[in-house]
Amino acid sequence: MAQWQKRLWIQTPVFIAVCNLVGLVFTFSALSVRDDRFPALLYQNVIKALWIGLPAFLAGFFVYHRLQPNETSGLYRRSVLASVSAGLFGCILHMIAQRMSAGHWPGSSMDAIGACLTAVMMSFLIATGFILYWSHTDATQTKTANVAPRVLEIKANGQLCYIPADDICYLTAQGKKTIVHTPSEDFTVNMLLKQFLKTFPIPGMMRAHKRHAIQTRALASLCHNHSGEYLARLAGDVFVVPVSPKFLPEIRRVKSS
């Protein structure tokens, strides 16, 4: 199971429990437990928290894990924007559901505006908390991975292979397979390139093209070609790999840091 799948499997039930807790807190702030209206209001608040919070959590989650680790520059901004948008959308859907069940909009127009503002703030807090937590966790794992050379255990070419991570110069997507290029040998892995990068977070390995990922530590030079792309020369001039303009700024930033 990939790392993002494990994270989703573990954290989604936790977040549902948090939404229930938020609904309980809002109910306590409005009514006493002895009030006859308490159970009905608790149900309404929990459902509303789930309508807003769950879409916000899932949207932020999938945008974050789609971009990370290849596009770190806009990671936080884009993940938060997706989370806030999904939370607001969930709030609107909740109001529509209330209208369909009750036959009228809940409260006045000011109540609806207030609910939308609450949804935006709640989604922002959700996104900020979880994304900062994920970023810290991933940064810690990357720092740990950088301490010592690692050896990858992968099933390639019909056998179990042990490849030192530092020997990998670049990766190539070939249909649903990934070719691992080292100076001495190539290994074909029955795994999508995106999945390979998630499963084996090799320090310094970055997406450079829709079909390639390169090891920035092996990057010797970049030169411009006539098609608008750059060519990356790896391990001296052993390998030459195209680099799309989309990925160039991040590669240059990492290489110069």
| Torsion-angle region of 100 (φ positive above 0: left; ψ -120 to 50: alpha; else: beta) | alpha
Neighbours of 150 (CB within 10 A): 16
d(CA 233, CA 205): 15
pLDDT digits (tens, 9 = 90+) for 101-148: 776 655 567 777 888 888 899 899 888 888 888 888 887 766 655 554
Residues sharing a CB contact under 8 Å with residue 60, sequence separation 6 or more, in sequence order = 79, 80, 82, 83, 86, 126, 127, 130, 131
Judge whether residue 1 has pLDDT over 60. no
Judge whether residue 93 has pLDDT over 50. yes
Structure tokens at 231: 């060519």
Label residue 86 by pLDDT band (50, 70, 90). Answer: very high
d(CA 164, CA 24): 52
Cα angle 29-83-62, degrees, rounded to a multiple of 5: 130
What is the pLDDT, as a whole number, of residue 148? 45
Judge whether residue 2 has pLDDT over 50. yes
Q: Which residues pair with 158 in a beta bridge?
A: none
Judge whether residue 171 has pLDDT over 70. yes
CATH class of residue range 151-256 = mainly beta
Can you list the positions of beta strands (E) in the chain?
151-156, 159-164, 170-174, 177-181, 186-189, 205-207, 212-215, 219-224, 230-234, 239-243
pTM above threshold 0.75? no
Q: What rounded mean pLDDT belongs to the chain?
A: 84
Can you give the residue ranges of every domain in the chain? 3-145, 151-256
Q: Is 103 helix (H, G, I), strand (E, B) or coil?
A: coil
d(CA 39, CA 52): 20
